[in-house]
Amino acid sequence: MVPHHDTVTDLDQELSGRLGQIREAGLWRELRRVDSPQGARIRIAGQELLNFSSNDYLGLAHHPALRDAAAKAAQDFGAGSGASRLICGSLAPHHQLEESLAEFKGTQAALAFSTGYAAALGAITAVLGKDDVIVVDKLVHACCVDAARLSGAKLRVFGHNDLDDLERILRWADGRGAEGRRGRTLVVTESVFSMDGDLAPLKDIVDLKERHGAWLMLDEAHATGLFGEHRRGVAEAFGVAGRVEIQMGTLGKAFGAAGGYIAGSRVLADHLVNRARSFIFSTAPVPAAAAAARAGIEVVAGSDGAQRCHRLWTLVDFFKKGLVNSGWPPGLVQSAIIPLMVGDETAAVALADTLRASGVFIPAIRYPTVARGAARLRATLSAGHTAEEVTGAVAALVANRPPAPVA
């Protein structure tokens, strides 16, 4: 038996102090154990909750096609992948997944990573170094910010969706080139912003980066599977997919599985295999995850996916109208992410707690995920919801609306 030490180490003491501050600031976080599969209803602490918190936008996480594919891959290829991709862990399911991804995205190639986070980290650090410039939207996901810092490139942040600010920074980067400095510029943005649910002005951003000879990396984590004729993402919907050098996404949201990907040219994929450290120095994803993701892509690409996508947009509209009719209109609704601004961190958490007690799970999102004082409830809809469930969530929201919500 491993001995259990009761001694409080110096580290523990230090960390306890820091945790105390986190609690006092109303920013304490803890895990909630879920005792059911992902779905429109989940079970937490013995209570069944209407789930408006998941990224399983098309209801695929528990879809039989994905479950069966995962089970079959575990039977055929085992539970573990044994090694990194470049040693002996590059199993058939990984290659099949990458072929399906490239076909789905309409790119020459695609490379799968163990998470979207790892994809961003690997791609940005493989492409940029200290002579380069990386320009990110103020609201890009933490993985792109962390990657930017790790790359050693000069990091510049433009105001959220602010084209003038972006142009100002790109002009400054041009000036560096004119001074004879080496180095290239990469712009990074999201197509659907994860905490506000709004879209980037993608056409204008693509025009801008081309005028300045910069490259673009687009994170489509919340858009793949949901936008565009073939559900490839917002780049497809806006007709600019062929002009985005690095297309990134996750396999853990609409695709219903887990993992991340980069889609683009063959040269880009080859470069990442050679240089992306999060790809090279990490055990390959388990076969079941790769196979489930591939099955998810196939569902999304087919008529089942089309129907689910249509259903999701119908429900989003229904949810929005319900709130508008009840006098609590949400902000701009452009995706399946609907933020309801509260402002104060403690008030947002209290509201989420009250909703949960009434059987509706809509999480409070607060600092550091969003800015201080910009706490909100963040509702995400799924094709797995019924109209009645959406009506139930709206009713619970309206019944518990705080006295003076900050719009």
What's the gap between Cα 371 and its chain centre?
Answer: 18
User: Binding mask 255-294 vs ligand PLP (x if CB under 6 A, - otherwise)?
Assistant: -----x----------------------------------
Q: How far is the CB of 226 from ligand PLP (least distance, A)?
A: 13
Q: What is the DSSP letter of 34?
A: B
Question: Which residue reads 């920013």 in tokens?
Answer: 27
The single residue of 63, 154, 209, 222 carrying the catalytic annotation is 222
Rounded-to-integer distance, Cα 6 and Cα 11, Å = 14
Counted residue by residue, the chain has a size of: 407
Q: How far is the CB of 28 from ligand PLP (least distance, A)?
A: 22
Assess whether 222 carries a catalytic annotation: yes
Strands, E assignment, 310-390: 337-343, 360-361, 364-365, 375-380
Q: How many residues bind ligand PLP (CB under 6 A)?
A: 13
**Among positions 81, 250, 278, 382, the unique one binding ligand PLP when judged by CB under 6 A:** 250
User: Under DSSP, is residue 8 helix (H, G, I), strand (E, B) or coil?
Assistant: coil
Q: How far is the CB of 180 from ligand PLP (least distance, A)?
A: 35
The single residue of 132, 253, 345, 385 carrying the catalytic annotation is 253
Interface with ligand PLP, residue 221, by CB under 6 A: yes
> Would you say 123 or 397 has its CB closer to ligand PLP?
123
Q: How far is CA 150 from CA 14, 121, 127, 143, 160, in A?
A: 27, 8, 12, 10, 22
Choose one: 206-214, 218-226, 327-335, 397-405; the region binding ligand PLP (CB under 6 A).
218-226
The single residue of 56, 132, 190, 220 carrying the catalytic annotation is 190
Interface with ligand PLP, residue 247, by CB under 6 A: no
Pair 187, 204: CB distance under 8 Å: no
Pick out residues in 166-205 that bind ligand PLP (CB under 6 A). Answer: 190, 194
Interface with ligand PLP, residue 115, by CB under 6 A: yes
Rounded-to-integer distance, Cα 340 and Cα 176, Å = 42
The dihedral built from the CA positions of residue 73, 75, 77 and 81, taken in this order, carries a sign that is positive
**Among positions 209, 222, 376, 378, the unique one binding ligand PLP when judged by CB under 6 A:** 222
Rounded-to-integer distance, Cα 15 and Cα 9, Å = 10
Interface with ligand PLP, residue 363, by CB under 6 A: no
For 112-129, the DSSP string reads EESSHHHHHHHHHHHH--
Assess whether 190 carries a catalytic annotation: yes
Assess whether 253 carries a catalytic annotation: yes
> Would you say 115 or 125 has its CB closer to ligand PLP?
115
Phi, psi (deg, nearest 5) at residue 110: -150, 150
Q: How far is the CB of 234 from ligand PLP (least distance, A)?
A: 12
Assess whether 317 carries a catalytic annotation: no
Rounded-to-integer distance, Cα 207 and Cα 202, Å = 9
Rounded-to-integer distance, Cα 370 and Cα 385, Å = 27
Q: Which residues are catalytic?
A: 55, 141, 190, 194, 219, 222, 253
> Interface residues with ligand PLP (CB under 6 A)?
115-117, 141, 143, 190, 194, 219, 221-222, 250, 252, 260
